[in-house]
Structure 1
Amino acid sequence: MLEASSYPVPRELPASCEEENTWIYNACCAVELSNKRPLEDGEDVASRKAAKVLEGHERQEKMEALHVHSIVHTDQPDNQYQADCLHALSIAQTNQLENHHQVDNQSDSSSLINQLGRDLSISCLLHCSRSDYGAIALLNKSFHSLVQSGQLYKLRREAGIVERWVYFSCNLLEWEAYDPIRRRWLHLPRIKSNECFMCSDKESLAVGTDLLVFGKGIESHVIYRYSILTNTWTSGMKMNTPRCLFGSSSLGEIAILAGGCDPRGNVLNSAELYNSETGMWVAIPNMNKARKMCSGLFMDGKFYVIGGIGAGNSKMLTCGEAYDLKTRTWHEIPDMLPAQNGGAVVTETPAAAGAPPLVAVVNNELYAADYAQKEVRKYDKKNNVWITLGRLPEQAVSMNGWGLAFRACGDRLIVIGGPRALGGGMIELHSWAPGDGPPKWDLLASKPSGSFVYNCAVMGC
């Protein structure tokens, strides 16, 4: 028996998502059609076939109408492919109905949607929303195995199909996810840990189908891994060099962690790469400068580290460094740190006064949030300068940058935060697609919650 609780399936389906759910409807129809019923008393094969042909014509008309509807009303980048798959589904259903009496009662579950075969079935499933994969896994053991294996997500990545969800924590050990496409909230299972981990500094990172949360246990640093394939938390992963307060970022199934502090408080210049498909950590060459409380990002196929505090120094480093994955070399970029407080970079910033730089990359362009002036800036790569674009959402407050999330989500910037109040607060998600002109923030969602964002990560798969 497959348990519905094994997957994070939202309970309510908004009316605005009905078009997306046609994929699940058609998949279920195809599976249902594969269940054969015996002839009833007085019913011969000819009459059964005639009735099925008529039924097939009616279903064909409905499917063709749905085919046209999907082309007209869907603005997803793969809507033509979706329409073709819908048309293929309608043909497969009609052919199956016309030849229903010739098919053996034993169906091949390995083909998933029997009328399409396994390869075409998977091709169709790739274009379903990953919100529906939990429901798909409940159809039968073959679907369950396919979803839990992670094969669908690997094939989606190879095909360039990406849905990005925002994961964040406003309460210690509790995480939520938000699907900006369907505008749904999802509660993750609570992390079961000790008080030491709960109160320690924590970093988070989404890579592949995993959400990683780094912190300190009673005796050593620990990593908790949440898998969207099983909707569970596990622990026990080990880095080559345990660290905290590092800079990190992910690109598909890989992630790079750089700098930070070791368990003895030493500031590190080491870095390592994590591959979520193999679960392996691989050391990469050291940075030119040791730094902690820095920020990491991928841009133009390279990994960058910005800001941070150096070894034996209480001032913010103004330089950045870029790591070329092809040549496996670092090069330093002077004065890359974005200006704060509306002016030039302040080099006398106390060590623990402010949060690491709030930076995000959209379409290979780097943006930063000035939490003091509540402004958004863009990095001019050619001239190595920052240009002020406009304002952050007014309700997005922070404590020296702590408690505010500034992330990239596809082609949009996301700001997560909210106004604070005694006894509670409000969490708000704002988004803006950078283009010409100043930022115009759209309120994606809001709800009563703790308004201090401890950790945030965006998972695209």
Structure 2
Amino acid sequence: MEDELLPRLPQEMACECLIRVPFHAFPTVRAVCKNWMHHLESPCFHRLRKAAGLARPVVALVQLESIPPQQQPSLPRPVFRLSLFEPATGAWTSLPPTPGCPHGLPLSCRLAAVGRELVVVSGFNRLSWAFTEDVHVFDVVSRVWRRGAPMPGPRRSSFACAGSEERRMVFVAGGHDERKNALRSTLAYDVAADAWVRLPDMARERDECRGLFARGAFRVLGGFPTAAQAQFSRTAEAFDVAAWRWGDVEEGKLAEAGHQRACVVGGDGRMCMCRQGEEKMEVLLEEGDGAWRPLAHLPGDVKASLQMVAWEGGLMLWGARDNGRAQVAYTMDLKGGGGGGGGKGLMWRKVEPPKRFTGYAQTACCFEM
């Protein structure tokens, strides 16, 4: 039959075979025939894969291109590209260049995952250094880029950004405008409709804040107002999507004030963050009562935590070595040790990426596939 997935096999059995294909092999499987391509791109395939417990975390990074300049002399430096890492298999994948971005992705852009799509928002124009309102969307299954609707003004940078798979939206809040004024305004990008929606303003201005989505709410952490440059707060605000309103400002929500790039949400909705401990940097885990407890010390060769992402039962850290330039990555299985205080029972596993994937990670997010 023309629609047979595998000759002489029942469709159900053929589906059982295909849903076990590792994510990094999707491009090869799609290239076999149109029937397989359509099957892998169907929502039914991904529902079956997830229901069978076969979906695995994938880390997406906007990463500094590590190809030597002599191999690409026409490109200005630095050049940032999208790359993917699969913790379960150790596979790394370089994604196709973004159309309309011949010099790589914008500097200081934001990245969010919504289902099978990665959304790159804003950043600096590589030639003019002006803020951009550009949006680029990449389908990780079809491996096709498309241009999204531009982000409404004011043009901003250093804003909070997070994606919601359930709502199929990317949320944006705070940051600063082109005159370095901190912002309270918030937006949401509907990925399927390719349209932006304005949300109510936050209670406070928040420049250089961090955004997370958990438990049905867009959470904006830290940041600082125009009148207090670089004086980060420990406060947070949460936008309840169902109620379509912001809750009260949460005072003292964070373990410490500072740049909250390391705050992430794990599978259970709790936050992790890095801070400088008494002896060395450590990872903290948010408790149910709002307190924080030590989870683990950072590996000895990580002197600065640059990016940290989490998934159900796992954590990935991307940091800098002693000289501040050489990059190093680790993962941790959070299920193994139960998260005992001080990191008892938990161990970091060093990631050894190929040379071209060792560049600085500008931003990162995680999705299941």
**What range is the shorter-chain TM-score in?**
0.7 to 0.9
Shift of 1:356: 3.0
Q: 1:117 to 1:262 in 2, by over 3 A?
A: farther
Contact 1:418 1:451 in 2 (8 A): no
Contact 1:203 1:244 in 2 (8 A): no
State the distance in 2 between where 1:195 and 1:139 align: 32
State the distance in 2 between where 1:291 and 1:160 align: 39
* 1:131-170 deviation digits (Å, cap 9, x = unpaired): 3322221222122233345653366567775321112213
Q: Give the alignment partner of residue 428 of structure 1, picking from 310, 329, 335.
A: 329
Structure 2 partner of 1:361: 265
State the distance in 1 between where 2:64 and 2:322 align: 12
Q: Give the alignment partner of residue 150 of structure 2, picking from 238, 245, 252.
A: 238
Structure 2 partner of 1:300: 215
Q: Partner of 2:272: helix, strand, or coil?
A: strand
Contact 2:133 2:151 in 1 (8 A): no
Contact 1:246 1:258 in 2 (8 A): yes
* 1:26-71 deviation digits (Å, cap 9, x = unpaired): xxxxxxxxxxxxxxxxxxxxxxxxxxxxxxxxxxxxxxxxxxxxxx
Counterparts of 1:252-291 in structure 2 under 5 Å?
A: 252=165, 253-291=168-206
Give the TM-score, by structure 1 length. 0.64
Q: 1:157 to 1:425 in 2, by over 3 A?
A: same
Give the TM-score, by structure 2 length. 0.78
Shift of 1:117: 5.9
Comparing 324-333 and 438-447, the one that deviates more: 438-447
The number of equivalent residue pairs is 334
Structure 1 partner of 2:34: 141
Q: 1:137 to 1:385 in 2, by over 3 A?
A: same
Q: 1:183 to 1:357 in 2, by over 3 A?
A: closer
Supply the AA of the counterpart residue of 1:376.
Answer: V
Counterparts of 1:25-36 in structure 2 under 5 Å?
A: none
Shift of 1:416: 1.5
State the distance in 2 between where 1:121 and 1:277 align: 30
User: What are structure 2's unaligned runs of at least 5 residues?
Assistant: 66-78
Q: Partner of 1:333: helix, strand, or coil?
A: coil
Larger radius of gyration: 1
Q: Give the alignment partner of residue 247 of structure 1, picking from 150, 160, 177.
A: 160
* 1:87-120 deviation digits (Å, cap 9, x = unpaired): xxxxxxxxxxxxxxxxxxxx222x4346566577
Structure 2 partner of 1:183: 90
Q: 1:284 to 1:393 in 2, by over 3 A?
A: same
Q: Partner of 2:156: helix, strand, or coil?
A: coil
Q: Percent identity?
A: 20
* 1:288-318 deviation digits (Å, cap 9, x = unpaired): 2121211122333322111011233222122
Work out whether 1:387 is the aligned partner of 2:280: no
Structure 1 partner of 2:70: none
Work out whether 1:454 is the aligned partner of 2:362: yes
Q: Partner of 2:24: helix, strand, or coil?
A: helix
Shift of 1:255: 2.9
Hey, which of these two has a bigger chunk of strand by percent? 2
Hey, which of these two has a bigger chunk of helix by percent? 1
Structure 2 partner of 1:323: 239
Supply the AA of the counterpart residue of 2:143.
Answer: N
Q: 1:195 to 1:130 in 2, by over 3 A?
A: closer
Q: Give the alignment partner of residue 309 of structure 2, picking from 376, 391, 407.
A: 407
Structure 2 partner of 1:65: none
Supply the AA of the counterpart residue of 1:284.
Answer: L
Q: 1:407 to 1:197 in 2, by over 3 A?
A: closer
State the distance in 2 between where 1:376 and 1:442 align: 12
Structure 1 partner of 2:101: 193
Q: Partner of 1:377: helix, strand, or coil?
A: strand
Contact 2:202 2:246 in 1 (8 A): yes
